[in-house]
Copies of this chain bind each other. A is one copy, B any other.
Amino acid sequence: MRDELLSRVLSLLPTGGDRPELRAYADMLRDYPTRGGKGIRSELLLASARVHGAQPGTPAYEGALWLAAALELFQNWVLIHDDIEDDSEERRGRPALHRLHGVPLAINAGDALHVSMWEAVLRAGVPGAMEEFLFMIHRTAEGQHLDLSWVEHGEWTLHAADYVQMVELKTAHYTVISPLRLGALAAGTAPEMAFTEAGLALGTAFQIRDDVLNLAGDPAQYGKEIGGDLLEGKRTMIVLRWLEDAPEEQRRVFLEQMRRDRPAKDAAVIAEIRTWLLDSGSVADAQDYAHAQAARGLTLLETAFQDAADPQAARELLAVLRDLATRDA
């Protein structure tokens, strides 16, 4: 995220106090925010605020900046808890927080960042913003529950439509819909109805792009381990579609690996499964689906922004979203 936002984020965090343990705690809270996330969602929110007429330097834009800081804090506490829930190894090129400090301290650090997120929302003083965060986080938690419960219960009788429903809840709201809506609220205008449909399409495209990069990305650019989704047993569109037509033997090998806990999975077999997925064309198919969704979402937004207060900001916003769905990292 940009420096201006990072300093707002850090200004809200506890600074430690009189004990070395509490200084270590303050360091834990600063860790993920200072690892250099791309800040896509906060850029989107700020662009949306400008599109709706909030100009930098005005009180309305100041409100948008605090909401953008809140969105970054949201992203960071969710990532801490998400990394525990998935038992991920890495985040932004470094070990996940719970792998550095253990699960108990990391859960607590995530909770503290969650609190600081609400502090940023309060600081923004934007009418309707608190309600938007409440709605957004409830949807994200529902999507997260779907994702995690499939892993927890070994559920593989799922189809692409299940994946899309999960991702719409888990990713689309906080990645696209709410940033667009929060920008409008900061500018003092009612969010366009089209944001929801456009955001569901673009959010799905964003998540599929992430799934593709997880399998086929450049390890030097992608901040998590390549193939990590397979180790974590993630139900992606890529895997679900491949399973429908996979040769019986490959399917059997795959499901046998997926029944194992992460440490018991065979790295060589997982690497082979990855080549099956790439060779099957299901990665390319999912990417095509994502491109189509992204194009649909962008068209909806172009229409919504036809009479935007700031056409230049509208072009920037659409460029951010286009990057989202086609990025390499």
Contacts and interface: CB of A to CB of B under 8 A. Distances in A.
A21 B115 contact: no
A28 to B, nearest CB: 8
Given A105-B152, A148-B104, A152-B101, A141 B118 contact: no
Contact of A145 (B21, B103, B144, B146): B21
Contact of A115 (B81, B138, B145, B152): B138
Contacts of A105: 145, 148-149, 152
A115 B118 CA distance: 10
B22 A146 contact: yes
Interface string A102-124: 11110111011011001100100
A141 B85 contact: no
A261 to B, nearest CB: 12
Interface in A122-136: 122, 130-131, 134
A25 interface: yes
A22 to B, nearest CB: 6
A141 B104 contact: no
A130 B114 CA distance: 14
A122 B130 contact: yes
A150 to B, nearest CB: 8
Contact of A142 (B25, B81, B114, B119): B25
A308 interface: no
Best-surrounded residue of A24, A138, A151 (most CB of chain B within 10 A): A138
Chain A interface residue bracket vs B:
35 or more
B19 A108 contact: no
Interface in A1-56: 14, 17, 19, 21-22, 24-25
A317 to B, nearest CB: 27
Nearest to A142: B22
Interface string A83-100: 011100000000000000
Contacts of A150: 21
Interface in A144-164: 144-146, 148-152
A270 interface: no
Contacts of A107: 81, 84-85, 107
A137 interface: yes
16 contacts: A22-B142, A22-B146, A81-B111, A84-B103, A84-B107, A85-B108, A86-B104, A103-B103, A104-B148, A104-B151, A105-B148, A105-B152, A108-B148, A112-B141, A118-B118, A118-B134
